Structure formats: C-alpha cells, structure tokens
C-alpha cells in the first residue's frame, strides 16, 4: 500500500510538471525570449544592453538654436529590443508553418525590489503598445519596441528626478502577445533592469 502511494505521488508530480507546459495555451508551441535588451534615447544612444540607464532629461547642444552655451532640455523615449523563437511542447514533433506566431502587441509593467510598486508614485505607469512581427517555425526574430515613453518622464515619479540626485531602480516586465496561424493565443514575458535618473550628458 505504501509503495503504491509513493508511486501515485511521484506520478502526480511528473504529470503536474508536464501539464504546466501543456496548459500554457492551446498552441503546440511555446514562445521563448532569447534576449531582452534596451538602448537609451537621445544623443548618447548606444548599442542595446541588458540594463537600461534611462535619462529623464537630456541637454541637447545641436542643431541650432541649441548650443553648448544654451542647451535645449529635451525628453527622449527609450527603446527595447527582444529576440524570440518558438519551441514545440512535444519535442518529438517539429513545428510547421501553421505554428508560426505573429506578435501584435505587448504590455509593460514596472516594479521595484523593495515592493514599493504604486504606479505614478513609486514607479511609472504600465502601458500597452503595438509591435508586429512573425516568429517562424525555426529560427529567431528580432523586434524593437518602445520601452519607456516620453510621457512617463513628464509624470510622477520620474518628473521629480529632473531636480533630484536620486535614482529609481526598477525591473520592467514585458509581455508579448500573438497568435499562431490557426488562431491559438501565445504569449511570453521577459524582464530587464532600468535605472531612472537625471544623468550627466555627454
């Protein structure tokens, strides 16, 4: 009896672990984030990185009438970049063209490690955005999207950083939504660290 009980418990555990993947949607494939990076907007924009240093205000010195002596305070949005691929739920079955997934939108939320997460007070408001790209049955696809909006830098709590030396450290959770060719919904989430502040301009 005891041996049967242990066997039943072990079988239930294995079934549960496999079932999580199976129940993650009706599509026979899952969407996988290979990399989620970002680059700051503005004159100092560089190559995408795993951590974003988001400047809430940038002093632009060109073109005219902006000069080094009289720079123009400017707000730039920040851009994210994601690399996605598909993985079959059943590894014995290769994905087909019916399994390709077209991404149409995404959702961004911000949170802090200290659990102070009130939007508009501790972190910027979350938002929905549109981005379109198709993930093929084999091989990755790269999509670029807006990660930090202009308006977020004009609202609390980021607007206060313009005249403050403080830094707000957050994690942005980005969820991408799409459907395969037969209409099954597919989604996945990636995360990236963002440091908000009024940093020195180069």
Q: What confidence tens digit (pLDDT) does each residue in 143-159 have?
A: 999 999 999 999 999 99
142 pLDDT above the threshold of 80 = yes
pLDDT beyond 80 at 178: yes
Confidence of residue 74 (pLDDT cuts 50, 70, 90): very high
Q: Of the candidates 199, 202, 166, 193, which has an alpha carbon nearest to the alpha carbon of residue 52?
A: 193
Range of the domain at 92: 28-197
Please state, in angstroms and rounded to a whole number, the distance separating the CA atoms of residues 169 and 150.
18
The confidence band for 43, taking pLDDT boundaries of 50, 70 and 90, is: low
What is the number of other CB atoms lying within 10 angstroms of the CB of residue 75?
Answer: 19
* Per-residue pLDDT at 17: 42
Residue 20 resides in a domain: no
Backbone dihedral angles phi then psi of residue 138, each to the nearest 5 degrees: -135, 140
Q: Is residue 149 part of a domain?
A: yes
Q: What is the pLDDT of residue 20?
A: 45
pTM: 0.84
Do the domain assignments include residue 15?
Answer: no
Residue 182 domain-assigned (yes or no): yes
Best-predicted range by mean pLDDT among 8-12, 39-43, 136-140?
136-140
**What band does 130 get if pLDDT is binned at 50, 70 and 90?**
very high
**Is the model's pLDDT at 2 over the cut of 50?**
no
Whether 14 is covered by a domain: the verdict is no
What are the DSSP calls for 42-89, one per residue?
A: STT--S-BSEEEEES-EEE--STT--SSS-EEE---EEEEEEEEEEES
Instruction: Quote the CA–CA distance of 128 and 191 in Å, as a whole number.
Output: 15
Please check whether residue 22 lies inside any domain of the structure: no
Please report where in the chains the tokens 């004159």 appear, as a residue: 43
Task: Round to whole Å and give the CA distance between 189 and 177.
Answer: 9
Structural domain count of the chain? 1
Q: Is residue 5 part of a domain?
A: no
For residue 129, being part of any structural domain is answered with yes
Rounded to whole angstroms, how far apart are CA atoms 49 and 66?
29
Q: What is the CATH number of the domain that holds 148?
A: 2.60.40.10
């Amino acid at each position: 009896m005891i041996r049967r009980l242990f066997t039943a418990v072990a079988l239930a555990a294995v079934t549960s672990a496999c079932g999580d993947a199976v129940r993650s949607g009706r599509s026979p494939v899952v969407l996988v984030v290979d990399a989620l990076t970002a680059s700051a907007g503005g004159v100092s924009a560089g190559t995408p990185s795993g951590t974003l240093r988001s400047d809430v205000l940038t002093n632009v010195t060109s073109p005219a009438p902006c000069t080094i002596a009289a720079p123009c305070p400017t707000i730039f949005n920040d851009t994210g970049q994601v690399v996605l691929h598909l993985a079959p739920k059943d590894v014995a079955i290769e994905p087909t063209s019916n399994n390709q997934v077209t991404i149409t939108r995404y959702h961004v939320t911000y949170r802090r490690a200290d659990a102070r997460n009130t939007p508009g007070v501790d972190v910027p408001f979350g938002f929905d955005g549109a981005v379109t790209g198709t993930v093929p049955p084999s091989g990755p696809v790269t999509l670029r999207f807006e990660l930090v909006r202009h308006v977020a830098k004009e609202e609390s709590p980021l607007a206060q950083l313009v005249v403050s030396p403080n830094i707000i450290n957050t994690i942005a959770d980005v969820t991408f939504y799409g459907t395969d060719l037969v209409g099954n919904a597919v989604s996945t989430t990636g995360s990236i660290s963002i440091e908000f502040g009024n940093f020195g301009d180069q």
